[in-house]
Amino acid sequence: MKTAPSISANIETAWNLEAHRLAPDEVQVVFSGRWCIDQDLPSSEALHAELTADTRRLSYRSDDLTAWDSGFLAFIAAVQKFCTARGIVIEQSGLPQGVRHLLGMAFAVPERKVSGRKGGRRSLFFQVGTETIEFFHGLPEMLQFLGEVTLSFGRLLAGRAQFRMSDLWLEVEEVGPRALAIVSVICFLVGLILAYLGADQLRMVGAQLFIADLVAIGMVREMGALMTGIIIAGRTGAAFAAQLGTMQVNEEIDAFKTLGISPIDFLVLPRILALMLMVPLLTLYAGFIGMLAGLLVSKTIFNIGVFEYYTETLRALEIKHFLVGLSKGSVYGAMVAYSGCLRGMQCGRSAEAVGEAATSAVVTGILLITITASLLTIIYYQLGI
Amino acid sequence: MDTEPHIKIHNLSMGYGDFVVQHDLNCVIDKGDIFVVMGGNGCGKTTLMRALVGLQRPAAGTVFYSGEDFWNVPQEDQERLKRRLGIMFQSGALWSSMTLAENVALPLHEYTALPPHRIDEIVSFKLALVGLAGFEEFYPVELSGGMKKRAGLARAMALDPEILVIDEPSSGLDPLTARRLDDLILELRDSLGTTIVVVTHELASILTIGTNSVYLDTETRTMINTGNPREALKTGDPKVRHFLTRGEA
């Protein structure tokens, strides 16, 4: 039995597909023309209607096939999968030899059956729940890292920490002097804003001179440390995470472990030390730059003399303000270093993971700075400092 | 009849700043050749590959593809020529934020008008060809080095390129998978007429698949034209024979 040809042809792009029923249980598919991926080729589903439940054999003819490439191969492969699933026996001898060989190679390795990977779009509740669980699962890891860093400091004090002093100085240079420019610009502008805001209010009671008090105490005690912390979180914290993350990807950290060298000692300790040393100094510098901005506003806008401003600043500042600013700077530096190194050491083994680690380091750093800033403010208030 | 060679490397010199990696390279690669670039470590094999595919401008000379001067045509023509090439990098160079299916599908989405279900069929077939059937939804980070390499080859083959440039296809693969990859390279040449440039120093692969070859010498920093590597093994330049026999000849 041979039925009339069916399916379809594409005259414009010159591929042609026909299906003939040779027997009640046998279908022959005839290909002709050009079957290449630069054409609008049919889907293999075009044959599904022909391959009815009673079909047991499928054969091909391709005598008039003029050109073929992956478009044709993918079509045949999809038909083969469909037929295999339904127990239809395929006779491939009517296909070009190259097609038969490549199909043979494609089906030589059995398909890996994977379940549950295409889960579809997850609900908002599922995502929020997953994120919350992951956050709480991450807490022990954060504490463990804190413990490892603390032990590393212990080894440093005992003179047993394994790191190179040259690495420490390189980090000191990177996080300190190289950050001066950005700290100068940001803190000058913050000082300027403080001076303008204060002047606006103080002018109403004729107390413009107290701009000096406001800017000096504000910058030295709070804003210098806070702004420096945030700048360092964005600049250095992200860099630490990216550096250590890249080392994870390249298995450099594993290489340290296999040599019995603690990566915490060798990589994390110099970075934390560098930031703890340099951030207080940057905080002092930030305060000085902020005061210069206040002086500029006072002199040019409110005509306050330089000597008057200087004297008022000296009168307003007490040693406790410096101590508060320096202590906050040290803590913020440690927070930024901790978060940068933590996220770097937790980094996965892909380029995307390095980006995520850098982002996460900045977010964690700023979050920790904000939390500790609030806590320290309450503590200092309670202590009357 | 097309009389131009498929690829012609003409007086090509490559370097980094003042450092010359290789100079005065001249080769002709015909359509359907499997051209093997061989040489010791640091001889400039990968640098030559980068010059062939447009990633590194040569210090001098150029590369012709079917008579078109790759390095001296307008930008849009160079982009058109690049689409005739498929490149497999040594590490696979898969995009880590995409699944394997997305990695292979991207060139098809960008450069063909195929509907998504056709692209899915082609992607599944290409992955099956390299022995990764069923791995469509995996991310590169979940794969071994050899699997990444094979997925990289599937991506390089996505558009059925006329010319396939493959950097170190067999390194890091188990012998059976390496053999399978060699078979695939031969089949692509035989079935689709693909011209294949293979950068490698895997002797088994060189002798199995190579129909033409060049040896890049580290000392003189230029090439020794060798032709068919199996012939070179018998009658070629002593340096090349030394290399092909692991120093025994």
Name every chain B residue with its beta carbon within 8 A of the beta carbon of A38.
112
Of A71, A101, A350, the CB nearest to B187: A101
Q: Does domain B1-84+200-249 have CATH number 1.20.120.1230?
A: no
Report the domain count for chain A.
Answer: 2
Domain shared by A24 and A152, yes or no: no
Looking at residue A116, what is its pLDDT?
55
Domain shared by A217 and A351, yes or no: yes
Disruptive mutation site among B103, B150, B191, B194 for chain A (greatest number of A CBs within 10 Å): B191
Nearest CA-CA distance, residue B110 and chain A, Å: 12
Domain shared by A64 and A173, yes or no: no
Task: Tell me, yes or no, if A38 comes closer than 8 A to chain B by beta carbon.
Answer: yes
Domain shared by A44 and A149, yes or no: no
pLDDT tens across B155-164, in order?
999 999 999 9
pLDDT tens across B64-117, in order?
999 999 999 998 899 899 889 999 998 888 888 789 999 999 989 888 888 888
Q: Which of residues 117-146 of A touch B (CB under 8 A)?
A: 117-118
pLDDT for residue A4 is more than 50: no
- Using 50, 70 and 90 to split pLDDT, how confident is the model at A3? very low
Task: Tell me, yes or no, if B180 comes closer than 8 A to chain A by beta carbon.
Answer: yes
Q: How far apart are CA B78 and CA B64, in angstroms?
A: 11
CATH, residue A13 = 3.30.750.24
pLDDT for residue B123 is more than 60: yes
Task: Tell me, yes or no, if B142 comes closer than 8 A to chain A by beta carbon.
Answer: no
Residue A75 lies in a domain: yes
Tally of CB atoms within 10 A around A383: 8
pLDDT tens across A274-329, in order?
999 999 999 999 999 999 999 998 888 888 889 998 999 999 999 999 999 999 99
Looking at residue A7, what is its pLDDT?
54
Task: Tell me, yes or no, if A41 comes closer than 8 A to chain B by beta carbon.
Answer: yes
Domain shared by A172 and A314, yes or no: yes
Task: Give this complex's ipTM.
Answer: 0.80
Domain shared by A201 and A253, yes or no: yes
Percent of chain B with pLDDT over 90: 55
Q: Which residues contact B69 (CB under 8 A, 6 or more apart)?
A: B62, B63
- Domain hosting A43: range is 6-106
Yes or no, beta carbons of B128 and A77 under 8 Å apart: yes
B60-65/B7-16 β-pairing? antiparallel
CA-based diameter of chain A, in Å?
Answer: 112
Domain shared by A223 and A164, yes or no: yes
Strand order in the sheet with A15-23: A6-10, A15-23, A26-35, A57-68, A89-91
Q: How far apart are CA A67 and CA A16, in angstroms?
A: 12
Domain shared by A214 and A287, yes or no: yes
Cα separations (Å) of A358 from A95, A267, A340, A354, B97?
Answer: 54, 16, 7, 6, 16
Looking at residue B3, what is its pLDDT?
61
Domain shared by A191 and A310, yes or no: yes
Q: How far apart are CA A82 and CA B141, in angstroms?
A: 31
Task: Tell me, yes or no, if A178 comes closer than 8 A to chain B by beta carbon.
Answer: no
Of A74, A102, A351, the CB nearest to B187: A102
Q: Tokens 């005259």, residue? A: A11
Residue A263 lies in a domain: yes
